[in-house]
Amino acid sequence: MLENKKIILAEKDIPTQWYNMQADLPTPLDPYINPRTGKPATKDELCQIFPEPIVNQELSTERWIDIPEEVRDVYKLWRPSPLIRARNLEKFLDTPAKIYFKNEGVSPSGSHKSNSAIAQAYYNMKAGTKRIATETGAGQWGSALAMACKMFGIECVVYMVKVSFQQKPYRKSLMQVYGANVFASPSVQTEAGRKVLEKDPNCNGSLGIAISEAIEDVVTHQNAKYALGSVLNHVALHQTIIGLEAKKQMEIAGEYPDIVIACLGGGSNFSGMAFPFIMDKINGTHKNLRAIAAEPSACPKLSKGVYAYDFGDLSGFTPAIKMYTLSHTFMPSGIHAGGLRYHGASPLVSAIVKAKLAESTVIKQTEAFEAAVTFARCEGILPAPESSHAIRAAINEALIAKEEGKAKTILFNLSGHGHFDLTAYDSYLSGNMQDCDFSQEEVNKALKDLPKIAE
């Protein structure tokens, strides 16, 4: 008789604290730099765009941070999320590896992004925020924040990267159902957007541009704050609920992963799954753990970028952050995994990779969709294009285990479902999808625009 395929925790097992990786870094993070003063950004400066509780979490080095009961109550709509043994995929691959995945696509918005959106909307509500502006790539973050803002009575404005706005119209519709105002970025709503359109009226947009527009929106409206769906420390913190639940579930399964995998755009999904396990690698209880970030070949910042100070947005409204980057002026190709089209990696993820506690792998777009279709036909779940990069990496590792004849245990994060991405699947199934590799020439040109920060 087969063991359980799905491991589900009870509501009482939802973690009561988030894990803060800053407490266990081999060396502290480099400070954020205010480019106008050349000095470390102060708490007061950060509080101009974020509510104070969020800024406190961003700067905290406490290992464990309590999850408010009001946040846990909303989490109960979909948490704990299931851990599933991909037995049909194992059988299809004829691999001795055991493959598990955490299904974050069960949230109301369809992805892991709700884990931070609910927390950020709650803290903004407590701080008296009336309007939140944000960016979104593929629309997963925008959908999550639109839902969260509606729950806590806050106006939501979303600047959605134009190529995804066009590719995924029903993500826009979902945000509007939740009451958000959605603009294709670059837009005419902001000076930052208008400047881009003057230079290139047909610009596909980027997350860097959309962030600039959202921050400009905040500073030009009263009682407004900015919310970011990835990259920053507080976002990584909120997402660790994924890995913390997964550790409990793997323990029930009687397993501990040899390899933990997640896709990487800005870093929220990877940090959420991997950080609670990397904690064990750091403290020596599981020294041989491998944590793999699966990047798109169109935007491989960990694999092909430089470790340097850079802005999080195109216009330089954000502080300069030490991270792996392809430069804030780099414009990735319009791949269907819009959530992975970000030029830089989270400072925490960057520090972990720099310390060789995690590694990266590069996945081509067609390889990701090939894996996605295989996964859907084996396990019945249609994955988001972003998640499909993690699936491809997991399949690659399972096939290596087959070649080596080793029964490895692989865990990956299925960060979201692909029900709004059928246009992309149509492109793949019709044979019209092409790989979009990054241009080293374009990256070299963009790297000249890195801010000059004295270290």
Whether residue 1 is predicted with pLDDT greater than 60 in this model: the reply is no
Going by the DSSP 8-state scheme, the letter that residue 38 receives in this structure is T
Lowest mean pLDDT among 119-123, 310-314, 376-380: 310-314
Q: Classify 416 as helix, strand or coil.
A: strand
Cβ neighbours, 10 Å, residue 430: 8
Mean pLDDT over residues 28-37, rounded?
92
- Rounded to 10 degrees, the C-alpha dihedral 455/347/145/300 comes to 110
**For 109-136, how does the pLDDT look when each residue is reduced to its tens digit (9 = 90+)?**
999 999 999 999 999 999 999 999 999 9
Whether residue 227 is predicted with pLDDT greater than 90 in this model: the reply is yes
Question: Cβ distance 78 to 108 under 8 Å?
Answer: yes
Domain residues of the chain, as ranges?
A: 6-13+80-110+242-447, 19-28+47-66+112-233
Cβ neighbours, 10 Å, residue 131: 18
Would you identify the CATH topology of the domain 6-13+80-110+242-447? Answer: Rossmann fold (3.40.50)
Q: Classify 132 as helix, strand or coil.
A: strand
Q: What is the pTM of this model?
A: 0.94
CATH 3.40.190.10 fits 19-28+47-66+112-233, yes or no: no
**For 256-294, how does the pLDDT look when each residue is reduced to its tens digit (9 = 90+)?**
999 999 999 999 999 999 999 999 999 999 999 999 999
Widest Cα–Cα separation across the chain:
66
**For 60-113, how does the pLDDT look when each residue is reduced to its tens digit (9 = 90+)?**
999 999 999 999 999 999 999 999 999 999 999 999 999 999 999 999 999 999
Q: Classify 111 as helix, strand or coil.
A: strand
Query: What whole-number distance in Å separates Cα of residue 345 and Cα of residue 337?
Result: 16
pLDDT score of 4: 66
**For 418-431, how does the pLDDT look when each residue is reduced to its tens digit (9 = 90+)?**
999 999 999 999 99
Whether residue 352 is predicted with pLDDT greater than 70 in this model: the reply is yes
Nearest of 177, 101, 107 to residue 376 by alpha carbon: 101
**For 323-336, how does the pLDDT look when each residue is reduced to its tens digit (9 = 90+)?**
999 998 887 776 77
**For 125-165, how does the pLDDT look when each residue is reduced to its tens digit (9 = 90+)?**
999 999 999 999 878 999 999 999 999 999 999 999 998 89
Nearest of 170, 148, 149 to residue 160 by alpha carbon: 170
Question: Cβ distance 225 to 49 under 8 Å?
Answer: yes
30 φ, ψ (degrees, to nearest 5)? -65, 145
Is 6-13+80-110+242-447's fold the same as 19-28+47-66+112-233's? yes
Going by the DSSP 8-state scheme, the letter that residue 110 receives in this structure is S
pLDDT score of 2: 46
